[in-house]
Chain A
């Protein structure tokens, strides 16, 4: 009899826990749907049943490019993963602020612009702060300028505002030294513009210069939108950048973090700690939160078991880094592409 009672109790508990689990899922989804900035603190169920409020920590490392990452199993810190994470944040109502750590010399124009516009969209919903690591130049700065605040170390290298496009002129080597001639059949006279098989004629150079100028103006306008015309009410120190200063220094030169702060290209000197303090204050101000400190959650970098797994798998298969390709200048690796990059 005792055995039967225990068996019935255990089965009953299992069935009951299934019902509680289903009920919990219903509550979680319902309270998540109804959540708005005004009623976060009033909802008792919210903290219990849905993801808690947090600051998303993202990182951007290396060249901004859509190229496949070296590691087959993880693309942590790449521009692609940053882009994916930003899209996810737009749908995640538990994220109350975005903190991005940038260590990049820039990269392709299209991807830099895509990330910039995603950040501007996020900025309308929540505060965005960028902290610059060793380098945040060109495309790296293009992305950073969409943030509400930029933090940099005194020795960080930033700036390099400009566009670059490179192509090889190998016609002398190929024709005179190796005796190789290219046969080109084309539909229009500019179809093989900047071809490595011949010298660049002035007409083509003017056309490409026009492209560069246009893309350069897009860069300057992005900084004007992101920083010069910036208008927020966050109670956090910010530097003022005037349009005239911007135009004067947007000639491709590189600044240290300290110089950039004086000119207004970054807001404050400091690192991840200072940036985290700032984003916390801004998030609390924006969403009227009373929590002491919002947790910082890594969004586009593997952590814990994931990191261990990816690390082990990578070392197991051996890194297949193409060393020769690593030595090439970015302009050659991304030949015929417009680049916001510091060479």
Chain B
């Protein structure tokens, strides 16, 4: 537990030094628990009191689904990066990346206090959006650091790895929206 608390503090305030330590001795189980906890967070933030047994069943199912989705996304991202790493002959760091990427999710926990801002109407909501965005940026930076550390990659190479599929999928999505909206217009006339 004490080791986890040190890693928790280090990830938030000294990420480079902590990630170096985590790389040498990756505590994968701690990372696994972190992913489960962060995945459950969204369900609790969007919590609606159950009106009956069915609502409670829905909430439990949603919670379970969130955990499964969270773990799957975590594993899929690691798998995806391993494939890319294979191309660059840098494979074999999956355990390190899984651990580092799980710890880079720690700032998501601060979404819980952020959601309380919504009770202060518009100014609170705007502040909440701003803080939510800041947390998102924080997680992205830590994730990039995690990839750089796990695969000994430069910042430029990480950007290429992350942005290439993003740009490709964005262009494909825009093309599909344009295609289907035109099709709908043609059919609705």
Contacts and interface: CB of A to CB of B under 8 A. Distances in A.
Contact of B113 (A7, A17, A26, A68): A17
Given A17-B113, A17-B115, A11 B8 contact: yes
Main SS class of interface, A: helix
Interface in B21-72: 41, 44-45, 47-49
Contact of A11 (B6, B45, B109): B109
B119 A68 contact: no
A18 interface: yes
Nearest to B185: A320
A322 interface: yes
B110 A14 contact: yes
Interface in A6-50: 6-8, 10-11, 13-15, 17-18, 20-22, 24-26, 29, 48-49
A185 interface: no
B117 to A, nearest CB: 10
Q: Which of B45, B113, B178 has the most chain A CB atoms closer than 10 A to its own CB?
A: B113
A317 B181 CA distance: 8
A320 B184 CA distance: 12
Contacts of A4: 2, 5-6, 9
B164 interface: no
Given A18-B45, A72-B184, A317 B178 contact: yes
Contacts of B109: 10-11, 14
- Which bracket fits the contact residues of A? 20 to 34
B44 A24 contact: no
A6 B9 contact: yes
B132 interface: no
Contacts of B9: 3-4, 6-7
A48 B118 CA distance: 11
A28 B113 CA distance: 18
B47 A49 contact: no
Contact of A21 (B8, B47, B110, B189): B47
B181 A72 contact: yes
Nearest to B51: A29
A14 B10 contact: no
A29 B50 CA distance: 11
B163 interface: no
A339 B17 CA distance: 75
B84 interface: no
Contacts of B41: 18
Contact of B8 (A7, A20, A49): A7
Contact of B119 (A6, A22, A49, A322): A49
B113 A13 contact: yes
A7 B116 CA distance: 21
B76 interface: no
Q: Which of B2, B41, B49 has the most chain A CB atoms closer than 10 A to its own CB?
A: B49
Interface in B88-117: 109-110, 112-113, 115-116
Contacts of A14: 109-110, 112-113
Interface string B149-189: 00000000000000000000000000000100100110011
Contacts of A15: 112
A26 B185 contact: no
A10 B121 CA distance: 25
A322 B113 CA distance: 51
Interface of B: 2, 5-6, 8-10, 12, 41, 44-45, 47-49, 109-110, 112-113, 115-116, 119, 121, 178, 181, 184-185, 188-189
Interface of A: 3-4, 6-8, 10-11, 13-15, 17-18, 20-22, 24-26, 29, 48-49, 52, 68, 72, 317, 320, 322
Q: Which 3 A-B pairs have the closest CB atoms?
A: A3-B9, A7-B5, A17-B113
Given A7-B6, A29-B49, A317-B181, 5 more contacts: A3-B9, A10-B109, A18-B112, A21-B45, A21-B47
